[in-house]
Every structure is written in structure tokens, then in C-alpha cells.
């Protein structure tokens, strides 16, 4: 955890606002160092993002513990400066870790580790076979064809492109897999319609490859009154209001800690629906959401599943602003009872 922190320093944003420090010391519900670092890190991020753009994603958003993936975190820093950084970009960068690279090559460690069955130069077909692998259809409209040729194979790819003819009379007498590594037309044999469908709507495994969790994802924006930037959370990875609010609290702790702490409500002790109601009455901030109809509702009224289905965005509102919501909340309670 300390390493990314140092890299922050390297970038030159060493100043930690004094206010945040003092807030941390006041009734800080977060006990461990990790949380402290998270807070510090967040602070720095906050500072950076003033220079850059709000709304870019933090690598710790889904795990709640900040910066496990060092590469990712580093990217988080970069993102502050990269306009319109999208997840796709981060995917490409993170590809360096080799987890889910769309590499069409045999170079990646994953493949070699698996006995290189895909690209092994062993086997009777010798050299010819080793280039029969990639199967990236040059006629395909797959959007990742370009990135499909992984780093390791870039130098090789020009050769295969020219070698479209089958190398059937290879010197070693073995003649089978001809054609280029990543340039085999019409292979695997899948109809264009299916290829194009998968290209336009890549399977979920791609979209939440970051999280590698859950059953699909539903990212909603989370804003907090007074915070300089928004966050995004995948609410599908939480199973209850308690989970969600813990996560949000961690995310925005630098802004909420003082308020919650000062009123003696320990959010970390667990958030039930009733607790949220306590917060409504007792704290400076309330958690609200915009539902499908465009109305702003208080979080915690409806069963969790229903909330997940109808929540479009979240807003941590100042209690004073939420007064308009309170009657509604009371009404809903009445209706439910």
C-alpha cells in the first residue's frame, strides 16, 4: 500500500491537506492503518482530480480496500490526467498483468503455463502449427482484433499476414495447419451474424472483468454534496443496505467521518434500515437515490432487491436538503404498514 502512496509523492503532490488529517483523528471509526492510508490516498486523489477530471474510476471502488492492484492504482493516478479515461483503456493497460488479455498470441504466460497446448512448437506439425493458433478472423468485425495481437506477437504479426497461402509443403514434410497465426479467415467457423452480435455486445465477462464478481453489473453514480468528484459503484456486488453503506462510507469517509463521528453514530457497527433512519434524523448527511421514474427517494425503504432494480443513481445529501424527502419517507412507511 505504501508504494503507490510514494508514487503519489513522486508525481509531486505531497501536500496533505491539514483538515483531512485532523478529521481523521477525530473519532475516527476506521481503526486500521489501511483505512488511514486509504483516506490519505483518497485525499491525494481528491487533490489531483481537481487538476484533472472528476468522475474517473478509482481502482479501489469495487474492493473497498484501496489499491490492491498496484498497476490499477497507478492507472488511477494517470486517469486524473487523461481526459475521458474509460474502462476499456484501463483494461488494455491492466493487460500487462496478464490476467485477461485479449492477446491472440502464444506469448502470454497464461498459455505457456497451460502446457502451451495452443501454441506449442511441439507436435508433429512443427512450425506450421505454431502459427495456426490465433484464429483472429481478418474479416471479422470483432472490436478487439487490433488488441487481439498481444504485445509479444506484434513483431511476428506482419509475417503471418503475408503468409496467407497454406504452407502445405513445409520442409519437414508435415503439412497441416498452414496460414497465419492471427489471420485465419473464416476460422473458427462462426456465422457473421453471431460474430457481429458478440462484438457489439461483448459478453459480461468482459465488462466486469475488473470485478470478476457478481452476476453482471450495474454501475451507478454516487455523488456527495460538497465532494469535488463523483464515484461509481456496482450495486450488484452488495447484498444488503449494510454492505452498500459501508462501502460508500469508506469511499467518502474523508467527507463524512466528522459528521457521523461527532454524533456518535458508528456507521461501521452495521447499518440496518432502522439505522439509516437514525442517520436521517441524527446526521448531517442522508443517502438518497434516484429511481426509475426520476424521483429522489430515501435509501432504505424498500427491500434490497427492489432497490437494486430501481436505483439509477445515488446521492449523499445534506440532511437539510433532504427535508423535502422526509415526509415522503414517512408516507411510504405508512403505506407499508
Show contacts with another protein in window 248-267 (CB under 8 A).
Answer: none
Are the C-beta atoms of residues 247 and 58 closer than 8 Å to each other? no
Angle between helices 2-11 and 70-81 (to 10 degrees): 20
CB-based contact 103:148 (threshold 8 Å): yes
Task: Tell which one of 176, 227, 265, 326 touches another protein (CB under 8 A).
Answer: 176
Residues in region 210-239 near another protein by CB under 8 A: 215-216
If the CB atoms of residues 116 and 282 are measured against another protein, the closer one turns out to be 116
Q: Spell out the alpha helix ranges (H) of the chain.
A: 2-11, 18-25, 33-51, 70-81, 87-94, 109-113, 126-130, 145-148, 158-162, 192-200, 204-207, 241-251, 253-262, 273-282, 304-310, 325-336
Per-residue contact string for residues 285-304; x = within reach of another protein by CB under 8 A: -------x----------x-
325 HSE (CA, 13 A, CB side): 24
Q: Are 12 and 51 in contact (CB under 8 A)?
A: no
Examine residue 42 and tell whether it contacts another protein (CB under 8 A): no
β-bridge partners, 220: 233
What three-state secondary structure class fits 214?
coil
Name residues contacting another protein, limited to 138-157 (CB under 8 A): 139-140, 142, 144-145, 148
Query: Does 203 contact another protein by CB under 8 A?
Result: yes
Dihedral, CA atoms, 207, 211, 214, 219, nearest 10 degrees? -60
- Total number of residues that touch another protein (CB under 8 A): 71
**Binding residue for another protein (CB under 8 A) from 17, 121, 158, 186?**
186
Site membership for another protein, residue 6 (CB under 8 A): no
* From 43-51, 73-81, 112-120, 255-263, span contacting another protein (CB under 8 A): 112-120
Closer Cβ to another protein, 13 or 217, answer by number = 217
Does residue 184 interact with another protein by CB under 8 A? yes
Given the rule CB under 8 A, which of 14-22, 201-209, 269-277, 316-324 is the region that contacts another protein? Answer: 201-209
Among 11, 211, 277, 308, binds another protein (CB under 8 A): 308
Which residues 310-329 are close enough to bind another protein by CB under 8 A?
A: 310, 312
Which of 91, 137, 210, 249 is the binder for another protein (CB under 8 A)? 137
Contact 247, 60 (CB under 8 A): no
106 binds another protein (CB under 8 A): yes
Amino acid at each position: 500500500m505504501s508504494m503507490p502512496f510514494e508514487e503519489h509523492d513522486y508525481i509531486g503532490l505531497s501536500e496533505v491537506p491539514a483538515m483531512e488529517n485532523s478529521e481523521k483523528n477525530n473519532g475516527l471509526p476506521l481503526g486500521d492503518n489501511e483505512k488511514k492510508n486509504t483516506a490519505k490516498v483518497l485525499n491525494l486523489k481528491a487533490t489531483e482530480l481537481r487538476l484533472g477530471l472528476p468522475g474517473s474510476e478509482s481502482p479501489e471502488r469495487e474492493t473497498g480496500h484501496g489499491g490492491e492492484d498496484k498497476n490499477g492504482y497507478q492507472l488511477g493516478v494517470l486517469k486524473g490526467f487523461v481526459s475521458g479515461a474509460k474502462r476499456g483503456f484501463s483494461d488494455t493497460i491492466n493487460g500487462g498483468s496478464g490476467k485477461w488479455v485479449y492477446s491472440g498470441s502464444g506469448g502470454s504466460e497464461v498459455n505457456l503455463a497451460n502446457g502451451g497446448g495452443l501454441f506449442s512448437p511441439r507436435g508433429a506439425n512443427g512450425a506450421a502449427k505454431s502459427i495456426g493458433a490465433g484464429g483472429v478472423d481478418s474479416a471479422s468485425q470483432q472490436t478487439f482484433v487490433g488488441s487481439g495481437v498481444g504485445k509479444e506477437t506484434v513483431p511476428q504479426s506482419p509475417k503471418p499476414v503475408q503468409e496467407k497461402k497454406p504452407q502445405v509443403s513445409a520442409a519437414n514434410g508435415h503439412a497441416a495447419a498452414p496460414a497465419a497465426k492471427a489471420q485465419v479467415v473464416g476460422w473458427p467457423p462462426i456465422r457473421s451474424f453471431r460474430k457481429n452480435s458478440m462484438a457489439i455486445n461483448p459478453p459480461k465477462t468482459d465488462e466486469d472483468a475488473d470485478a470478476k464478481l457478481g452476476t453482471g453489473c450495474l454501475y451507478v453514480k454516487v455523488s456527495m454534496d460538497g465532494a469535488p468528484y463523483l464515484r461509481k459503484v456496482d450495486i450488484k456486488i452488495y447484498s444488503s443496505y449494510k454492505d452498500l453503506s459501508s462501502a460508500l462510507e469508506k469511499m467518502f469517509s474523508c467527507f463524512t467521518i466528522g459528521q457521523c463521528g461527532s454524533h456518535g453514530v458508528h456507521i461501521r457497527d452495521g447499518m440496518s434500515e432502522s439505522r439509516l433512519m437514525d442517520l436521517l434524523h441524527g446526521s448531517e448527511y442522508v443517502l438518497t437515490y434516484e429511481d426509475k421514474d426520476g424521483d429522489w427517494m430515501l435509501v432504505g425503504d424498500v427491500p434490497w432487491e427492489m432497490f437494486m432494480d430501481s436505483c439509477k443513481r445515488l446521492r449523499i445529501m445534506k440532511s437539510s436538503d433532504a427535508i423535502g424527502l422526509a415526509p415522503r419517507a414517512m408516507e411510504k412507511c405508512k403505506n407499508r404498514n
